[in-house]
Structure 1
Amino acid sequence: MHHPESLFAYGHASDPDWRVALAAALDMAGSQAQSGTLGFLYVSDLFEAELPELLAQLNQQLDVKHWTGCVGIGICATGQEYLDTPALALMVTDIPESELSIFSGMTPYLSDQPLQVSGAAPYFAVVHGDTATPDLPDLVRDLAGKTQSGFITGGLSSTRGTGGQLADKAVHGGLSGVLFSEKVAIATRLSQGCSPIGPLHEIGEAKSNIIGTLDKRPALDVLYEEIGEILARDLQKAAGFIFVALPVANDDRGDYTVRNLIGVDTDRKLMAIGEYVESGQSLMFCKRDGTTAREDLLRMLTDLKKLVAGRSIRGGLYFSCLGRGEGLFGPDSAELRLIEAHLGHFPLIGFFANGEISHDKIYGYTGVLTLFLGD
């Protein structure tokens, strides 16, 4: 038996043939990956059709009791991003089987089932979701509410296919993942990829996702004022890096969820956003920009470094947004290299998601880092 506090075994590789990629990743993971209790696996959506076969191959070669994970258009690993290229990353852990529980197929109809790990409510969960699932934000909130910490992390599969997930077998739809007891030591933080460009506004007239007035003025006038004349003249261009941010209620960290600006009506001065809103809610405009995203990632890493001071990091999971990575941080895996530069070299895998899950919400344009700690 290896020393219980050693690093988790992990491997990653890219190849058009999943068999070649898997062999290379297992080779990198070494003999320590031969047996374990829980494996995480993130697979390029280009291998989505082969997911059942891939899992069967893993089960044949390794003695790992449980698997969780999903597909993504991009895959993350320590200091390495595989964007839009056929790749996979896996990590094998020895977290005691009694302290974890795999679940899948959680839909709005099943959300009243009680969840348990070793006879108690779970403390924390890592989850994967399907964007096509109805009421997904409610489902995420429900699940987080069933944990003792009120906290879950994860991501929504990103795919040009149907968005496969893994929960001991290939599954589709709803939420799946793994529940942990309080004996599993983790640290997690979220980094925003956007920064506010103006003050908070109060939404006045609003219907579903269409906003008529902000601070008792036509919504479009307020938007134009904040983003400036140049962008206002070319709203198509603005849509790429101007977003709306909805502050998270009762949050002392000044957290907010970012949503797309999806349309404007210049005659009636209305704007439509990618989220249902109500009159009385607050909103601010924000911009996506590499400099602020980098600053916020460094802030998060500094935070985590303090949080884990004196403890070892056995492995980690990173869920970043498809809108981040190279597009925001620059080439050569800059985003993942920043993590490695600040927290050191440790096994890290994950994927570029179509929405990131942290605490009890689905975010966009964020990076969510979860670390498994040793003594």
Structure 2
Amino acid sequence: MDNSFSYGHASAPQWITAAQDCLAQLGGKPAGANLGFLYVTDDFADDLEDILDFFKARTAVAHWVGGVGVGICATGQEYLDEAAMAVMLAALPADAFRVLPGLTLSSPGLTAPDLAHVHGRPAQSGIVHGDPYTAGIPELIELLAGRVASGFLVGGLTSSRRRNLQIADTVGSGCLSGVLLADTVPIVSRLTQGVSPLGPQHEVTDCQRNILISLDGRPALDVFYEEIGEILARDLNRAAGYIFAGLPIPGSDTGDYLVRNLIGIDTGQKLIAIGEMLEPGMPLMFCRRDGMSAHQDMLRMLAELKRELRAPPRGGVYYSCLGRGAGLFGPDSVELKLIREQLGDFPLVGFFANGEISHDRLYGYTGVLTLFT
């Protein structure tokens, strides 16, 4: 196995116990290690600064990125609703990455020519983390993606029942941050969906902001009832968390679509409110949460990556929606074990996110797998 990446993961009631276990798995500081990835479950959110200081001191690695999730990922293992952490060290060319400090829409350097540069050269790609409660995160993602050479970012929004914290050399929140990579750090990335379409695409023919009034010239709720079936139509509470709106991405050659929650239904006026702004003429379809389809699409994504790889991955990061994991794939870390079964046993860390970032968009109910090749 390529030894330029090493990792460890552990669960324990006290953070110091888990951190020492991870450190033992790392085997000290690998030769040349200069970038760390650190993810902790929200049980350790209040301890994140101490945890980061521990790993900086014990590994002598100065540069770190990561964040907090209600669950975290490691090779073949997911930790949900327990105190746990996962850490990965990478040995990269010193001039091939730059930690990106927190950005907001009011950041003074947002329009600077060298915003997305790595040691004087345009960045090729980026791995980023965001705060779901920060205004303008989708706009920041699109702006930053437009500045990197490939137009491609990957990452996720933190998820926590305590503090939504992220790491960019220091612990912070309320921003978009991460690491920019030069073209000398090759990566490959793919996205897998966690829902499947119920029926055909429709055209939004009337709407107001995020309120869906009509589809294909018919009341939106009538179309919705037809597609979800009589049983769910009689009890709309059962549809909550199971039925979603899907917004196909124009021009996508992979059939990608953005999944957004249904956030309200007015049965009297036959209106549907969704978690996204709408415009007349947009395509829209209804989708359902579907474990079997998610499993099949996960295998499809992994097969595509396997065909593209010329050698085993050196390391990887995985960002999965907090609505996936055990709730969609079943217990015993099935989602993470699929990655290991199909691609091999390599260092992998990540977390269950409150929104997943791929290319220049913020997704939901997806998994985004990125491999260092």
| 1:115 Cα deviation after fit | 2.0
Q: 1:92: which partner in 2?
A: 89
Q: 1:10: which partner in 2?
A: 7
Q: 2:335: which partner in 1?
A: 335
Which amino acid letter does the alignment assign opposite residue 167 of structure 2? L
Matched residues in 1 for 2:249 and 2:98: separation? Answer: 30
Query: How far does the alpha carbon of each residue in 1:198-243 deviate from its partner, in whole angstroms, 9 at most, with x for none?
Result: 1111112211111110111000000000010101111111122111
Query: Is 1:248 aligned to residue 245 of structure 2?
Result: no
| 1:33 Cα deviation after fit | 4.2
Q: 2:326: which partner in 1?
A: 326
Instruction: Give the percent of matched residue pairs that are identical in Structure 1 and Structure 2.
Output: 53
Q: 1:65: which partner in 2?
A: 62
| 1:109 Cα deviation after fit | 2.1
SS in 2 for 1:108: coil
Matched residues in 2 for 1:219 and 1:279: separation? Answer: 13
Matched residues in 2 for 1:231 and 1:34: separation? Answer: 58
Unaligned runs of 5+ in 1: none
Unaligned runs of 5+ in 2: none
Query: Is 1:355 aligned to residue 352 of structure 2?
Result: no
SS in 2 for 1:12: strand
Q: Is the Cα–Cα contact under 8 Å of residues 245 and 257 in structure 1 kept in the other structure?
A: yes
The list of structure 1 runs, each at least 4 consecutive aligned residues, that deviate by more than 4 angstroms after superposition, is 32-35
Q: Is the Cα–Cα contact under 8 Å of residues 10 and 33 in structure 1 kept in the other structure?
A: no
Query: Is 1:137 aligned to residue 138 of structure 2?
Result: yes
Matched residues in 2 for 1:155 and 1:181: separation? Answer: 20
| 1:65 Cα deviation after fit | 2.4
Which amino acid letter does the alignment assign opposite residue 368 of structure 1? V
SS in 2 for 1:11: strand
Query: Is 1:112 aligned to residue 111 of structure 2?
Result: yes
| 1:172 Cα deviation after fit | 1.0
Query: How far does the alpha carbon of each residue in 1:286-333 deviate from its partner, in whole angstroms, 9 at most, with x for none?
Result: 11110000000000000000011x223111100000000001001100
Matched residues in 1 for 2:204 and 2:322: separation? Answer: 29
Matched residues in 2 for 1:212 and 1:365: separation? Answer: 25
Q: 1:170: which partner in 2?
A: 171
| 1:275 Cα deviation after fit | 0.8
Q: Is the Cα–Cα contact under 8 Å of residues 4 and 33 in structure 2 kept in the other structure?
A: no
| 1:52 Cα deviation after fit | 1.0
SS in 2 for 1:179: strand
Which amino acid letter does the alignment assign opposite residue 168 of structure 1? D
Give the TM-score taking structure 1 as reference length.
0.96
| 1:7 Cα deviation after fit | 5.0
Matched residues in 2 for 1:370 and 1:254: separation? Answer: 19
SS in 2 for 1:240: coil
Matched residues in 1 for 2:76 and 2:150: separation? Answer: 30
Q: Is the Cα–Cα contact under 8 Å of residues 34 and 61 in structure 1 kept in the other structure?
A: no
Matched residues in 1 for 2:63 and 2:294: separation? Answer: 35
Q: 2:71: which partner in 1?
A: 74
Query: How far does the alpha carbon of each residue in 1:342-361 deviate from its partner, in whole angstroms, 9 at most, with x for none?
Result: 00111111000000000110
Matched residues in 1 for 2:228 and 2:158: separation? Answer: 32
Q: 1:346: which partner in 2?
A: 346
- Aligned pairs, how many? 369
Matched residues in 2 for 1:263 and 1:33: separation? Answer: 52
| 1:34 Cα deviation after fit | 7.7
| 1:251 Cα deviation after fit | 1.1
Matched residues in 1 for 2:356 and 2:312: separation? Answer: 25
Q: Is the Cα–Cα contact under 8 Å of residues 43 and 75 in structure 1 kept in the other structure?
A: yes
SS in 2 for 1:212: strand
Q: 2:372: which partner in 1?
A: 372
Query: Is 1:36 aligned to residue 20 of structure 2?
Result: no
CA RMSD of aligned residues (A): 1.2
SS in 2 for 1:198: coil
Q: 2:258: which partner in 1?
A: 257
| 1:184 Cα deviation after fit | 0.4
Which amino acid letter does the alignment assign opposite residue 209 of structure 1? N
